[in-house]
Structure 1
Amino acid sequence: MPYQYKREPLNDDEVDRLTNACDTFREKFVVWTFLDTGLRLSEFADLKKDNIQWQERRLVIYGKSSPYGKKTKRRIIPMTERVRRLMEYHFAENNNTGMVKRTV
């Protein structure tokens, strides 16, 4: 049986080094969102303002098909206060524009 690499979460020192290396708001937005939510790259890149339930402090992420498809999978992801503030700022500056995969 081939060896399966087990992914370990980042420790506090690794998180500090990663976040301290961020120079721009965009970098901080990407890094903290990944760290605090566990979103996949494609989910983050496809994220729109309509996916955010501000009052409930959560993100609604839909699977590969449309949100109205028969086999649609939906994930509800809690949003930390830090991510909520970063998202508010991002969407205030960029209207309803999410991220683009090439720029993440």
Structure 2
Amino acid sequence: MTEQTTNSGSCCGGSSCGSGTATDVQIHGTGVTTVYKVSGMTCGHCEGAVSKEISALASVTAVTAVAKTGEVTVTSAAPLDEQAVRAAVDEAGYELVGQA
């Protein structure tokens, strides 16, 4: 199955299709927690796409994305390189604004 995202940064073309609840990806452990602002998330699918890409980064142990606030909380065993997080968010089809 091929997944597509739009250039607008929203999988739903700007419409609100989700409940606005958080999507959690738990791997294991605890460590450094960083909150990022991501633009373009509008629904649960958006949260899942961002969470999936960030959770694939080395040392990430947990990701919580909340479309309603645009915040993504990332826990990792070691501090993450912001450029790596930016690339992961970009791969999901959204824009990393910076740390919240």
TM-score normalized by structure 2? 0.29
By percentage of residues, which structure has more strand?
Answer: 2
By percentage of residues, which structure has more helix?
Answer: 1
